[in-house]
Amino acid sequence: MSQQSNWPLWEVFVRSSRGLSHVHAGSLHAPDQQMALRNARDLYTRRNEGVSLWVVKSTDIISSDPDEKDSFFESPQGKDYRHATYYKASEGVKHL
């Protein structure tokens, strides 16, 4: 006898210290935003201070597929000029 608990799935993003960015840490179930934030604090930060948390309902996340056709992502092939190593004449010049 399965019971739909109706507690949606939330994705959790954690920024462990200033200067970094939020990183996806995992997910959890909670009935609403407030509880999701609190549960995330318990589970993904062990209530460490100074940590920033985002919670987002999983259904609100729009993603792109890694196997998406090429036009969606510009291929880096053949675009060496976007890499510093392409510029040999500058090698050895300080601060460049």
Partner 1 sequence: MAPSTPQEPGLSAVPSYEEEQSQGRFDALIDQDSRVEPRDWMPEKYRKTLSRQISQHAHSEIIGMQPEANWITRAPSLKRKSILMAKVQDEAGHGLYLYSAAETLGTTRDEYNEQLLSGKAKYSSIFNYPARTWADMGAIGWLVDGAAIANQVPLCRASYGPYGRAMVRVCKEESFHQRQGFEILLSLSRGTDAQKKMAQDAINRFYEPSLMMFGPPDDQSPNSQQSMAWKIKRFSNDELRQRFVGMIAEQVKVLGLTLPDPQLHFDEEKKQWIHKDLNWDEFMAVIKGNGPANAQRLERRREAHREGAWVREAAAAYAAKQAQSEVA
Partner 2 sequence: MKHEELDEALDSFGDALASATRVTPGNALRPEDIAVDGIAPSEEVARYALTLGDDALILAQRLSHWISRAPELEEDVALGNIALDVLGHARSLLTYAGLAWDKTEDDLAYWREEEEFTSLWIVEQPNGHFGVTIIRQLIVSIFQHLLYQKLATSQDKTLAAIAAKAVKEVDYHRDHAIQWTIRLGLGTEESAEKMRHALDILWPYVDEMFRDEAVHQKLESIAVLPSTLRDAWNEEISAVLAEAGLEIPATGQAMAYGRRGEHSEHLGYLLAEMQVLARKHPGASW
Site residues (CB under 8 A) for partner 2?
5, 7, 28-31, 34-35, 38-39, 42-43, 46-49
Of these, 22, 31, 86, 87, which contacts partner 1 (CB under 8 A)?
A: 31
Residue 16 binds: one of partner 1, partner 2, none (C-beta under 5 to 8 A by kind): none
Q: Where in 34-63 is the site for partner 1 (CB under 8 A)?
A: 35, 43, 63
How many residues touch partner 1 under the rule CB under 8 A: the total is: 19
Give the integer Cα–Cα distance in Å for 76 and 3: 49
Residue 23 binds: one of partner 1, partner 2, none (C-beta under 5 to 8 A by kind): none
By the rule CB under 8 A, 27 interacts with partner 1: yes
DSSP state of 88: -
CA 84 to chain centre: 27
Q: What is the CA radius of gyration of the chain?
A: 21
Residue for token digits 């318990």?
Answer: 42
In this structure, what token pair is assigned to residue 66? 């890694």
Of 9, 3, 2, the closest CA to residue 60 belongs to 9
By the rule CB under 8 A, 71 interacts with partner 1: no
